[in-house]
Amino acid sequence: MRIGREPAGMIIDARNSAVELTRDADFVIAGAGVAGISLALELAGKYSVILLESGGIEPEQDTQSLYDGKSSGLNYSLLGSRLRFLGGTSNHWGGWCGKLDDIDFEARDWVPHSGWPITSADLEPFHQRTADILDLGSGNFDTDTMVPPENHAFRISGTRLTQRVMRFSNPVTRMGEKYRPALENTAGLTVLLNANLVDLKLHEDGKKLESALVRTLNGRSGQITAKHFILASGGIENARLLLSCRSQMTQGLGNEKGLVGRFFMEHPHVTAAEMFALDENWCQGQMALRRDDDHWFGLMVAPSKKSLSEQRCLNFRGHIFNIECQSDDPIELRVMMEQAPNPDSRVRLTSTLDALGLPRIDLNWQLTALDWHGIQCMGRLVGEALGARSLGRVKLRDWVMEQDGRRIGFGSHHMGTTRMADDPAAGVVDRNCRVFGTSNLFVAGSSVFATGGAINPTFTLTALALRLAEHLTGLVR
Ligand SMILES: Cc1cc2nc3c(=O)[nH]c(=O)nc-3n(C[C@H](O)[C@H](O)[C@H](O)COP(=O)(O)OP(=O)(O)OC[C@H]3O[C@@H](n4cnc5c(N)ncnc54)[C@H](O)[C@@H]3O)c2cc1C
């Protein structure tokens, strides 16, 4: 058996017959998107790392179609919400970034299955580095230190609402493009393009992973051995891969409790209400972008922690665009909602196979009565706050009261399918993102989120990848 280890970094095409696919490394990472590239670059230089990427430098139809599947729940686009080539879905993300609120990590008695095993403070040390990776300028999201109270865009102090800072990636970070030189030149790192992870092989102890089976669409394959394996293939695909590894465990890897693929969460995007501004100056101040050195940030309205617990609401972020204030039409209140964790909202394997022989998935995205309560609660809190200041009036749309799921949008934010917990009966990975029941298999990405808050997930998933890199560094000496 020939073992390949490149001394210098390099990017090579696994479809090329001259490329040896039987290799060995300290770490194998599957997926070169935001999480996988961030993690690989933290580990490389110190260790040998093989980064497997299903796609190439540019998108290709046959590779992208490996993501196709069925959507049996609320309307969802499996193909349109992710990209399968170097850089992953960052190739068309919008660059909106924010930090989860402290309460998002806490167990709330009105939100079943809520509560992370880690807190907001556990991710704080990784915020500035995350901001550097994603070109945000600063990792500071503290509204009070960034914007003096007299300049707050929403004149809502004293109400049940508060404000949250959003930062914008600028220029919008395309991970494959931006980090290609680093991927090519970091010692010990090998990026295998067009290399799909299709199976993971366990040692006979049933806990330790020994190798990863890699397959290309032109029929090549290889077995890569490593000390540690990390899935970083996106919030839906991480679950699909665990469920598909059935050659030794009939129920899939890490799935003894049947939890892999469950708790799929999105951020329901709703233009749920019409607003009638009574004070034009107030309206003009909304979502005005501000500059912080060379970077842009904006302010969004959110419920205060106290009002969330008093009203037993789900979290949300709302905004309106300035441009709408200039029209005579009602202004649209655009809101990103938290979705409550729900075991029946899930990813499952089907009997249809893709071109590599992996089962395609059925995504059954579902909302519960608690999610609809959250949307109505949002309308009430925003309406009360604006009404109390005679700034405007809010009218919830009829479809919200009728709970018409066809009107719900989504953010292409895939969370929860390999959720984090301290108890294997409640989750798929532990607080260090290790898959329960295995000793050396880890997951990176928003599939580990226990709850999703009401903020775009990429900032948090990148911070988690950096935290995972620190943990893994402690394991391999
Ligand atoms: C239109 C759009 C706009 C968005 N805007 C925002 C935004 O403004 N803010 C925000 O926070 N988020 C946004 N998102 C979501 C954001 O893109 C994702 O959160 C982020 O890309 C997830 O990172 P990831 O590394 O987990 O997955 P990805 O970036 O999707 O990367 C996964 C990688 O794994 C590879 N892969 C898959 N299967 C395999 C396999 N079997 N073997 C090897 N490799 C594999 C894929 O090719 C891909 O490169 C947006 C998404 C979309 C679609």
For the Cβ of 453 lying below 6 angstroms from any atom of ligand 1, the answer is no
For the Cβ of 461 lying below 6 angstroms from any atom of ligand 1, the answer is yes
Of 29, 36, 35, the closest CA to residue 50 belongs to 29
Residue ranges per structural domain of the chain:
1-134+175-265+343-356+415-477, 137-168+268-337+368-407
CA of 119 to the centre of ligand 1 (A): 24
CB atoms within 10 A of CB 62: 10
CA of 92 to the centre of ligand 1 (A): 9
CA of 465 to the centre of ligand 1 (A): 13
In sequence order, the 6+-apart residues with CB closer than 8 A to the CB of 169 are 93, 95, 96, 97, 134, 135, 136
Question: Stretch 418-439: mean pLDDT, rounded?
Answer: 98
CATH architecture assignment, domain 1-134+175-265+343-356+415-477: 3-Layer(bba) Sandwich (3.50)
DSSP state of 358: P
Task: Record the tokens describing residue 325, joined without a space.
Answer: 């204030």
Q: What is the pLDDT of residues 150-190, one digit of tens each?
A: 666 556 667 788 888 899 999 999 999 999 999 999 999 99
Helix runs in 303-390, H state only? 305-311, 369-388
The span from the first CA to the last CA of the chain, in angstroms, equals 26
Q: How far apart are CA 451 and CA 449, in angstroms?
A: 5
Nearest ligand 1 atom to the CA of 175 is: 29
Residue 13, amino acid? D
CA of 85 to the centre of ligand 1 (A): 10
CA of 308 to the centre of ligand 1 (A): 30
CB distance 259 to 108 below 8 Å: no
Nearest ligand 1 atom to the CA of 98 is: 11
Q: What is the pLDDT of residues 109-154, one digit of tens each?
A: 999 999 999 999 999 999 999 999 999 999 999 887 787 766 665 5
Three-state SS at 283: helix
Q: What is the pLDDT of residues 66-99, one digit of tens each?
A: 999 999 999 999 999 999 999 999 999 999 999 9
Task: Record the tokens describing residue 149, joined without a space.
Answer: 């109270």
User: Rounded to two decimals, what is the model's pTM?
Assistant: 0.96
Mutate to test the pocket of ligand 1, among 34, 66, 82, 93 (most ligand atoms within 8 A of CB): 93
Q: How far apart are CA 228 and CA 38, in angstroms?
A: 16
CB atoms within 10 A of CB 119: 12
Three-state SS at 401: helix
Question: Rounded to the nearest 5 degrees, what angle is found at the Cα of 160, between the Cα atoms of 141 and 310?
Answer: 105
